[in-house]
Amino acid sequence: MTKKEKLDELNKYWQENCKCELRKTATQAVFGDGNAEGEVVFIGEAPGKNEDKEGRPFVGAAGKFLAEMLDNIGMKREDIYITNIVKYRPPNNRDPEPEEKEACNEWLINEIKIISPKLIVFLGRHSMGRFFPTEKISDIHGKLLIKNTKEFGKQAFMPLYHPASALYNGGMREILMKDFKKIPLVLKKI
pLDDT of residue 62: 87
Instruction: Supply angle C-alpha 164, 169, 171, rounded to 5.
Output: 115
Cβ 182 vs Cβ 158: under 8 Å:
yes
Cβ 97 vs Cβ 168: under 8 Å:
no
Whole-prediction pTM value?
A: 0.95
pLDDT averaged per 10 residues in sequence order, the chain, 190 residues:
96 94 94 96 95 93 91 94 96 92 96 96 94 94 94 94 87 92 93
- All domains of the chain in start order, with CATH: 3-189 (3.40.470.10)
